[in-house]
Structure formats: C-alpha cells, structure tokens
Structure 1
Amino acid sequence: MANNQQPIYIMPEGTERFLGRDALRMNIIAGKALAEIIRTTLGPKGMDKMLVDGFGDVVVTNDGATILKEMDIVHPTARMLVEIAKKQEDNVGDGTTTTVVLAGELLKKAEELLEMGIHQSSIVLGYRLALAKSIDILEDISIKASDKETLLKVAITAMTGKGSDNAKDSLAELIVDAVLNVEDDGSVDKDSINIQRISGGSVEDSYRVDGILIDKGKSDENMPAEVKDAKIALLKYPLEIKDLETDAKIDLTNPLQMQAFLDNEDEMIREMVDKIISSGANVLFCQKGIDDAAMHYLTKAGILAIKRTKKSDMKRLVKATGAEIVTNIDALSSEELGEAGIVYEKKIFDQKMVFVEELKNSKANSIVLRGSTKHVTGEIERALEDALGVVAATIEDDKVVIGGGAPEIEISKRLKEYGETIPGREQLAINSFANALEIVPRTLAENAGLDSINSIVDLIVAHEKSVNYGLDVFSGEIVDMKEKGVVEPQRVKKRAIQYATEATETILRIDDLVAARGSLESQGSDDDGMDNSGMPGTYNGMGQGGMPPMM
C-alpha cells in the first residue's frame, strides 16, 4: 500500500537547523572571531579601538568591557562570550579581555582535538580536570598581601597602558585612599565611591573628596550657595503641576476666571513648598522637575534645591545621609530627612557641582577627575574603575599573583606535568588547555612588537628558577616581576580561567542549532567584519546565509 502521508512540520517554515559538527564548527568560528577582534588590546602596549555609534558619538578605548558593550554583536555564541566578559567585569572589574581571549584559544585548541577524532565529551572532561588543577596551582603560587604598598602596585598595574600613564602614581594614590576609606572589616562597598569627570585642566589636578558630588548646580542663582547643618530631603515627586491631558479643554470666559485659574495653580505649588518647609528641610534633591514658582518660594525660604538629580545619585544620597526617598510629598516629614555637615555649590572649570560633605554615618568618597577633553577623561575613568575593582578584590581576598604572564606560564608548565598522570584521551585535552593558557603571554609579546616564540621559550626556561619571572613588555626582557612591582589580584586570574572554561564547555556541548531564518545571516558583512564600504559592520563570525566561511 502506497504511503501517502504528508510531511509533518514541527517548526515554522524557513527555520534553519544545523546539526553535529556543522553547528559546533559555526559556534567555534564565532567565538574565535570575537577573541581575535579584541586580542590586540591586551596588555600595557595593547592598541586602541575607535567605536562610532549610529549617532556619530566616538569612543576610543582599549578597555575590553567597553569594546564588547559598544559593539553590536548578533551571533548567539559571540554574545555568550560577551556575557562572560560582563560577568568578569561585575565580579572583579578587570580581566575582561583576558577572559574572552582565553575562551577563544580554548575553542581553537578544542577544534584541533575534534579534527583528531576526539569526542566533545572527552574534551569537556579534560578541560574540567585542567580547570580544577589550575585553581589549585593558582592558590599555590599566590601571595598573601593587602598592605597599602601592594594595593598601590595593584592599582598601577591595572591602569598601565590605559591612557593614564602620565599620572598613574597619583591616580593610584587617590583610588587606594578612597577604597581604604570605605573598607569595612575586609569588605569594600564600591558603590560608595563616585568618580566625576570634568573636562578642562590636567589629570594631575584630580583630587579626592570625603563626601558625595552631584554634577548639577543649584536650581536658582538666588538660592544659598552653602548650607551648614544640612537637613536633606530626597523627593521623587515633581514640584510642578502635572500637565493636562492633550485632549483636555478649559473654557475661560473672562480675565477673572483666568486669574483664578493661575492663582489656584500657584496655591497648589505653595502648598507643596510649605510641606517641605514644615518638614525642616533646608536642602532638597528632586529627581524630577521643579516649577519656576516653586523655585521662587524655595529661594525665599532659604532652601538649596537641585532638580533632575540622577537616580544613581539619589541612591548614593540615601546611603550616605540616611534620608528616605519620598514618592508622595504628603508623606514628607522630619523622619525622612538625611543629615550632612555642609552642602555647597562649587564651580570647577566651567561646570557647577554640589558637594555633600561631613557625613556622620557614611564613608562615601568621590574623585574629581580632570582631563583636557571628554575623550581623555572618559578613558581615564575606565582605567580608574578597573583599578577600583582590583584594589577592592585584593583587600577582600588578601591574595595577589605576579603579572607579566607569569601565572599562565607556571600553570601551563605544571598542567603538562599533571597531564602525564591522567590516562586516556583526557590527557590530550589537559595538554591543550595548558597550551591555551600561553595565549596570554604570547599576546602580550605580540602587542609589544616582540618575538612571541622566543618570549614563550625564555619564560618557560626562566620558570625553572622562579615562578616570579614574567615578560616586561617595555624592555622586552624576562625579569622578576615581583621586584618590578607588577602584581594583580588572584581573583582576576581565577575568574578569567573559570569563566572562559565554563563558556567553552557550554559551546562544545551544543550539537544542534535551530534558528529562525535571517537570525544568523551576516547582514551584509564580509568574513572580516567589514562591509563593502570598508567600515566596520555588524560582525557575527559567519559567511553569507548564516553558514560558516569555507576554510
């Protein structure tokens, strides 16, 4: 009997599906492509990337987290690597480029094993064994230290090559002092440290303030420029009459009705201001707008008011002053007010700012960052944020490792010895993992214009003597990096290896890729991420039609 059954579709028409090695190969290519894009930014001599968004705004940086955030990544596998970079940034504050570059190299080594006929399961198991051993080795070579001298070295190492070289010593001092000031029993609240950029001037003019800076001036010129023994109200409610609906209509037949309408609005504004005055507040931070009439009455009452305060600044003020954010002005009372010894307005270059200082129950700090242009201050701010993260991690963990590629070489060396004790195909995966770790010192050498092969060989030989030998990219020599003062938090290396391995395992375990038609297409870009005009395009690591480029 003839089989006349119609085919059964379980997915929408036009759905693309790639199975087995095709799916795996596509994902590996995408991961390697992303790693290659940011690899040239790694290290003190890494190059910068210029990123231009759709509005023409330009960002010039070699900060991996910023580059990945600004790029329009569409391939799902590449986006997974962006996620682990964000995880690294949130957890440590530095090492995002290392994480992605290492993940790309682990995928490259896995691809070589796949071509040898090794199954993904064996590779994943070998990588897991290598990861566990790597963490043990990292613990063994770590140094316990969180004194101020070490913290300064950690901060300087994090900022080197990130646009702040001319003033990295003084900036490191600012960061370390700020972190030590907010440190509480080995824990650091990084949100209590605020960095405010002000273009105009020199980086050396930057300084630290014990308090909070708000990058806005007072709402009215006639308001007091300084208030001592400040009672601070934080208002989310706008001090203005809500706009009428667009289709509302009011019929006013004579001037008296118009005046009555205006008087009623004025009375409503007056009542709102009276509630602020009766609460005892003499400083007001409003997250919304403030009506001109309200500013007039606040000025008459001697209240310093700042309108359209950023949400992030409102949160800092809550923590620093003890005030509560009031969402309904009727609920405002003296119990919701915060306190500060002094609140004042100060003009720095051409920007007015409000300072909140002498905080009784807070260690909040702010750093006024100066620079010639917004691009300069933007890049230095990113360097300071990296330094802030690594200094905090060093205090919390009390462990550092030597920089200059020293940890990766030592872990690689010991992993190869460990691999000899593991039978089966997992041994090959462990050795591949060990070789992948060498991508960090190799990239440092390449970005410094050095011979990467000679540098790796010299490092391996030097590690027969001491684990402290690393690559000095400025001299091109293999030196004792501990004596050079190049140190990094253990957490940076630990998390980078962990996150890169986890992402690689996830990618290797995928053997089926199902996507709606068009979701994997190249959107008109060539295999090198360039469109036909020669400008950077949206890169997904794929060839035309969502298929990987033929090798």
Structure 2
Amino acid sequence: MSMFPGTVAFDEFGRPFIILRDQENQKRLTGIDALKSHIQAARQIASILRTSLGPRGLDKMMVSSDGEVTVTNDGATILKLMDVEHQIGKLMVQLAQSQDDEIGDGTTGVVVLAGALLEQASNLIDKGIHPIRIADGFEMAAAAALTHLDGISEAFPVNKNTRENLIKVAMTTLGSKVVVKCHRLMAEIAVDAILSVADLEKRDVNFELIKVEGKVGGRMEDSMLVRGVVIDKTMSHPQMPKVLKDVKLAILTCAFEPPKPKTKHKLHVGSAEEYRDLRKYEHEKFLEMVKRVKDAGANLAICQWGFDDEANHLLLAEQLPAVRWVGGPEMELIAIATGGRIVPRFEELTPDKLGSCGLVRELTFGTSKDEMLVIEQCSNSRAVTVLVRGGNRMIVEEAKRSVHDALCIVRSLVQDSRVVYGGGAAEVSCSLAVARAADKLSSLDQYSYRAFADALESVPLALAENSGLSPIDTLSEVKARQAAENNSNLGVDCMGHGSNDMKAMNVIESLHSKKQQIALATQLVKMILKIDDVRSPADGIQ
C-alpha cells in the first residue's frame, strides 16, 4: 500500500480504485514555480518573433484552421493569428496589439524586449532577489532610459517642405517589410497621404480620411495614391459613360426600385389589363424617382442598394449614370470627400444635399479588365485613397499592412516630431546610460539596472543575428565605439553598407515609437513578475 500516494477504496462492484491525496492541488502552480512557468511562456513567444526583427528578418507563414494562408513579419499580425493557449502568451499578444494601436509600428521589437527583460528577471530570481524588487528596479531603469532617449533625440521639423525627411523615416519602417523592392514609392505614397490629411497647426492626423484599398493584379510598382475615393465598383450599365466631369452626386440609401408592398399581404393580379396597369404604375413611379434625382441637379447616383435590369435600362434611357451596391463605409467616405449628404428618401433630395467633384472615371487594370471607380478633384480634397497592387492576394495584404505601419509612423512624427536613430543605435545608447546609472547605485536595484541594460542589447543582437553577422562581436564593437566616440548614432550595419553611422545611412525612427516600446515592455514585465498564482474557475478555494 505504501507504493500509492493515496488510499484505496472500493466501488459498488468491489473494484478497487485509488484516491490520490491533494489531487486538486496537483495541477496548480504557485510562487516561484508559477513565475518561472510564466517567464518561460513569454520567452517562447518572444523567441518566435525574434527572427523576424529588422530589415533582414524572416517572415512567418500562418495557416488558419480553414487553410487560409498569411505570410507576414508584422509582429502584431503574427501574434493575432497564432493560436495562443497560455494566459501569459495572451498578455504578450495584447502587448503587441497595444503597440500597434498606439504607434502602429515596432510591434516585433516590443515583444522581443519584453522577452529579454523576463529572461534577465529569471536570472535575478535565481540569485534570490524578490520579484517585486526586480519589477521596481526595472521601472526605475526604464525611466532612466526614457530620460536618456529624450537627451539623444533630435528635433525634426514636420511641414510641407520636409517631405524628403519624412520619406526617409517611412523608408526605415518599410525596410523590414515585403514591399522593400519598391521601397521609395511606398514611402512617398505614405508621406503624401499623411500630408494631405494632416492638420499641421493642431498636430493631428485624421486617419478616417485615409483608405487603404488593395487590388490583386499588376505589379507592386503600380500602387498609387488617389486624391479622392476609390470604390471597387463600376457603373451599373456597361453603356453608361466611363468618364464624367463636373459631377454632382446624389448619395442614396433608398432602393432605386418600383415600390413593393411592405406588408405580408400578397397582391393578386387577375387579368392582363390589371397587369398592364400595375406595370405602367411601376414604370411611372420609377420615372418619377429618376426625375426627382435629375431635378435636384444630380448627374450621378451612388446607391447603397441594387436595382434590377429593368431599372438599370431605364436609368440608361434617362441618361442618369448610377453605381449600385456601394458599402456603408465607402458611402460615408464619398460623402466626406464630396461634401454631400447621405439621403435616405427620395422626397428629401434637394440640390444642397448633393456632393460635387471634378472627375469620376473608371480605371481598368491589366489583362483581367478589372475595373474600379475613382472619384477625384473632390470639394474636400483631404480624403485620399492608397491603392495597393500586387501579384497575389498574400502580397497585397502584406503590402497593405506595411503601408499602414508607414502611415502610422509618419502620423506619430506629426504628433511628436523628434527622432532617434535606428539599427539598434538608440538601444545601445540607452543600455550604456542605464549601466552608467547602475554604477552610481549602492542599493540592490543596481542588479535590476544592469539586467535592464543587458535586455536592451537584445534588439541589436537580434538585428545582427538576423543579418548573418556575428552577434556578440558586432554588438561589442558598436558599444565600444559609442562609448569611445560618445556618438549615439552608431548602430548595427544590417544591410552591409560598410558604415555603422545610422544618421548617414538615414535609418531614422520616431522617438515616440521607441519610448512607447520601452514603456509598454516594462509595464508588461512588471505585471508578469507580480503574478504568483493562476487559478481557473474549476480550482475553487481549498
């Protein structure tokens, strides 16, 4: 009996079974074991993302449960599509998501940094330092790093004349993405889009006015910025004109169809005469609708709902071009761009509710003859559309994600126009500063400071590793040169250009983005270090 960690009981049929002692506690981790398990889970996720950091980072292929394939190296997207079971893993997913929502770029870097901080914390716990002391030390070290970042940042004026500088920053963001082969073009599109909608006095960018539309087919170089709205629709009838000038648009959410009985009652038509009367009535009603639209002065109808072939033919006969099945968000964007009002009933259509624009034309693409409608020269010229092209759906989707990152980073420059230098230069500089601060401390916190300094080095290490360089050699050389020359612009030469000066190489990053990465990673690590027990609803209280 002593073999068993429990007692034997017998069921009603006399069969023995074992009652295990402390069975309900077996699966629960508490204290240091729980912390170690959490740190392990977070480090695993960070190690997955680590290889996709930087301009030479690798992509990940995510296959969903229904076989849909996504290829990306955008940290937030990878984590969102990963099926993460572990609770701490889910916190890492939220970390990348909050970086994406706040800044839009740097999602991989923030997870790698959090993983490195937890790795260092694990070593400190092994040395016997209490997790709370580590967390507080990290927080103080992060504050020192953020202050240092402010010190090494450079002012970066943002206005209509500094377009070239903004393009350099956007190119840094796009350097690690799939779109790198038409690097410059994508950066120009992103910068021009932001400058079109930015309010430089208030330092604000209304993202609602920028729409990123993807269309499969053509080359990535065919992507363009349309100063207006692009909708993936065509004129409802092939014989309607393909180009319209000086357009007045009626934006309708009412159905362009003859009236139907809305009740449950059925309409019985007893004779051919009655049928003719009904048809005549429908015809007249429909012509009345068209007349209403034309009387208001509209020469193009944008309709949220469809209309049948008869209605389509009558619209053509009445020379009123129309577009059907336009989605809600597009309707709103068209209304903003053209200064029109969305009209829910024909009775309410008046000339002052019409939108106006200079040109509406159909774009035809390549051999597949795909068509889209472009509304340009709008009265509110601030609404723009980025049209992304690519050989297949995966490339178009990844290019859209990349353009989104570039748009976000240019937006954060409009809001806070200071910059630091990339390629791990800012991290190495902060690491040196935090290590210097550690030397001045006599308390236990100096261990946390040094660990934080080591964790900051994980970013340049990963950059060097992904670029095929010897990580330790490269990092020690950059650190030694930064310390000797007191030059915080020196980083990892990922692209093999033969120069470590990131300022000369135009590898520029937004200060706001870098500060947010360090702050968010530290916050998450502090939270994880304070969790020493995980209970699920089944555990109950023993």
TM-score range (shorter-chain normalised) is 0.7 to 0.9
After superposition, what is the alpha-carbon deviation per residue over 1:132-187, rounded to whole angstroms, capped at 9, x for unaligned?
Answer: 11111111111111422321211111111312222212332232233223232233
Written as runs of structure 1 = structure 2, the 5 A alignment for 1:118-517 is 118-146=129-157, 147-185=162-200, 186-240=203-257, 272-349=289-366, 350-464=369-483, 465=485, 466-475=487-496, 479-516=500-537
Correspondence for 2:20: none
What RMSD over aligned residues (CA atoms) do the two structures have, in Å? 2.9
Correspondence for 1:71: 82
Cα distance between partner residues in 2 of 1:249 and 1:14:
68
2:228 corresponds to which letter in structure 1?
G
After superposing the two structures, state which structure 1 stretch, 248-257 or 275-284, moved more: 248-257
Cα offset for 1:281? 2.7
Does the C-alpha gap of structure 1 residues 104 and 311 become closer, same or farther in structure 2, counting only changes over 3 Å?
A: farther
Cα offset for 1:460? 1.0
After superposition, what is the alpha-carbon deviation per residue over 1:385-439, rounded to whole angstroms, capped at 9, x for unaligned?
Answer: 2222212222331111111100001101101111233443322222212211111
Cα distance between partner residues in 2 of 1:20 and 1:328:
65
Instruction: Describe the SS at the equivalent of 1:480.
Output: coil
Instruction: Describe the SS at the equivalent of 2:535.
Output: strand
Contact kept? 1:287, 1:308, Cα under 8 Å? yes
Does the C-alpha gap of structure 1 residues 290 and 141 become closer, same or farther in structure 2, counting only changes over 3 Å?
A: farther
Cα offset for 1:256? 5.3
1:485 corresponds to which letter in structure 2?
N
Does the C-alpha gap of structure 1 residues 15 and 309 become closer, same or farther in structure 2, counting only changes over 3 Å?
A: farther
Does the C-alpha gap of structure 1 residues 108 and 478 become closer, same or farther in structure 2, counting only changes over 3 Å?
A: farther
1:204 corresponds to which letter in structure 2?
E
Contact kept? 1:342, 1:357, Cα under 8 Å? yes
Contact kept? 2:62, 2:70, Cα under 8 Å? yes
After superposing the two structures, state which structure 1 stretch, 151-160 or 301-310, moved more: 301-310
Correspondence for 1:538: none
Correspondence for 2:18: none
Cα distance between partner residues in 1 of 2:534 and 2:261:
52
After superposition, what is the alpha-carbon deviation per residue over 1:464-498, rounded to whole angstroms, capped at 9, x for unaligned?
Answer: 11111100112286611111111111122111111
Cα distance between partner residues in 2 of 1:240 and 1:502:
58
Instruction: Describe the SS at the equivalent of 2:208.
Output: helix
Identity over the aligned pairs, expressed in percent? 37
Cα offset for 1:42? 0.6
1:58 corresponds to which letter in structure 2?
V
Cα offset for 1:65? 2.3
Does the C-alpha gap of structure 1 residues 263 and 438 become closer, same or farther in structure 2, counting only changes over 3 Å?
A: farther
**TM-score, length of structure 2 as denominator length:** 0.85
2:343 corresponds to which letter in structure 1?
V
**TM-score, length of structure 1 as denominator length:** 0.84
1:53 alignment partner, one of 58, 64, 68: 64
After superposition, what is the alpha-carbon deviation per residue over 1:23-45, rounded to whole angstroms, capped at 9, x for unaligned?
Answer: 43333222222212221111111
Rg bigger for which structure?
2
Cα offset for 1:344? 1.9
Instruction: Describe the SS at the equivalent of 2:191.
Output: helix
Does the C-alpha gap of structure 1 residues 451 and 478 become closer, same or farther in structure 2, counting only changes over 3 Å?
A: farther
Contact kept? 2:52, 2:59, Cα under 8 Å? yes
Contact kept? 2:227, 2:381, Cα under 8 Å? no
1:405 corresponds to which letter in structure 2?
G
Q: How many residues align?
A: 506
